[in-house]
């Protein structure tokens, strides 16, 4: 979410420190994993809202395994379009989508982290996927039909 490895490490360290300090307050009914993800997400949101911070660095390029230059160029263009499309998603959809795709969390845990119902978490991921598919239609070609 930060697009900066060192910043992500710093925020992770802060999240773990807050989790350690708040461990005695952990409610029995709340799972540790969801609780920790919520703390980490709140750390990121607090950082992102800070007036003196701005995330400017692009995501690093992924090494390409495709043989030809035209295929490499097309895949790079598609990756850039995906990054841009994800950035344009409203935060509510983007958060749910990233937790689902990058963290591979089940909908129930996504719902707990985002403090919404499981149905709402499913809907947000679905809506994010639909918006991304529409934005990337030219790269998906016949697969959408």
pTM of the model: 0.56
The DSSP letter of residue 44 is H
Domain membership flag for residue 83: yes
pLDDT at 144: 47
Q: How crowded is residue 125: how many other Cβ atoms within 10 Å of its Cβ?
A: 20
Residue 7 CA from chain centroid, whole number: 15
The DSSP letter of residue 143 is G
Domain CATH for 141: 1.10.10.10
| Same domain as 144, residue 74 | yes
Q: Compute mean pLDDT per 10 residues along the chain, 145 residues long, and list them.
A: 82 89 76 85 86 61 67 84 93 94 92 95 96 89 55
Domain membership flag for residue 21: yes
Q: Of 104, 103, 99, 126, nearest to 114 (Cα)? A: 99
| Same domain as 104, residue 35 | no
Q: What is the number of residues in the chain?
A: 145
| Same domain as 47, residue 89 | no
- Please say which residue of 10, 36, 56 terminates a domain: 56
Spatial separation of the C-alpha atoms in residues 48 and 53, rounded to whole Å: 6
State the total domains in the chain: 2
Domain membership flag for residue 116: yes
| Same domain as 25, residue 73 | no
pLDDT at 108: 94
| Same domain as 122, residue 83 | yes
| Same domain as 72, residue 27 | no
**Which structural domain range is residue 97 located in?**
68-145
């Amino acid at each position: 979410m930060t697009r900066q490895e060192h910043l992500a490490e710093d925020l992770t360290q802060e999240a773990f420190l807050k989790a350690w300090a708040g461990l005695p307050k952990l409610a029995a009914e709340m799972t540790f994993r969801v609780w920790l993800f919520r703390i980490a997400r709140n750390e990121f949101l607090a950082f992102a809202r800070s007036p003196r911070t701005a995330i400017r660095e692009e995501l690093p390029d992924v090494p390409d395994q495709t043989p030809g230059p035209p295929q490499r160029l097309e895949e790079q263009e598609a990756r850039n379009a995906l990054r841009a499309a994800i950035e344009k998603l409203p935060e509510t959809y983007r958060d749910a989508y990233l937790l689902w795709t990058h963290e591979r969390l089940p909908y129930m845990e996504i719902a707990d982290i985002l403090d919404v119902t499981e149905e709402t978490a499913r809907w947000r991921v679905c809506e994010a996927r639909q918006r991304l598919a529409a934005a990337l239609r030219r790269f998906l070609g016949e697969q959408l039909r």
